[in-house]
Amino acid sequence: MALVRIGKVVRAVGLKGFLGVAGSAGALGEVAAIVLRRAGALDETRMIEEARPQGRVWAVKLEGVSDRTAAEGLVGAEVLAPREELEEAGEGRYLWTDLDGLEVVTVAGEVVGRVTELYETGGVDVLVVTGGARGEKLIPLAPYVEVDRAARRIVVDPPDGLLD
């Protein structure tokens, strides 16, 4: 079973133990259980009792998390799920795991680097690209970015100044 990152616990929501999970793009509505991964701790599998969108995050109630204090203790945990339980993200949408490690090139064929991280901004997500001759670059997932999952690369037609 391959686990993939579908989000991160960013805050507690309310007083009844709900977690605020960012970056799931609806994946939390598809799975019955998730795995929480925290630095220095063993992975924990938890059943989802309820999951709903709430503003820019998903409010998620997990089995065994009954109050705000317990929810606050999970802030910072990565949220993982089995890849086979997730549907495709849809046209123009991507799961983080689909982008992680992809090579990034310009339309002229210049290698920019590889995707190593994703910043979820609440608006346009931003790819962190490292390993190229120009150093670390931040590239918004904007209309000038084309993700070719079949070729395992991302092609960028950068506006002036983006890669400087």
CATH code where residue 42 lies: 2.40.30.60
What is the separation of C-alpha 42 from the centre of its chain, rounded to a whole number of angstroms? 21
Where are the alpha helices (H) located in 4-163, listed in sequence order? 68-72, 96-99
Query: Whole-angstrom Cα distance, residue 42 to residue 80?
Result: 13
Domain boundary residue, one of 64, 85, 106: 85
Q: What is the pLDDT of residues 122-162, one digit of tens each?
A: 667 889 999 988 889 999 988 899 988 788 899 999 888 88
* Co-location of 8 and 77 in the same domain: yes
* Co-location of 76 and 101 in the same domain: no
Q: Does the pLDDT value for residue 163 go beyond 90?
A: no
* Co-location of 80 and 100 in the same domain: no
**Contacts (Cβ under 8 Å, ≥6 apart) of 13:** 19, 20, 54, 57, 59, 71
* Co-location of 63 and 130 in the same domain: no
- pTM exceeds 0.85, yes or no: no
What residues make up the domain containing 108?
96-156
As for how many domains the chain has, the answer is: 2
Where are the alpha helices (H) located in the chain, listed in sequence order? 68-72, 96-99
Does residue 140 lie in a domain region?
yes
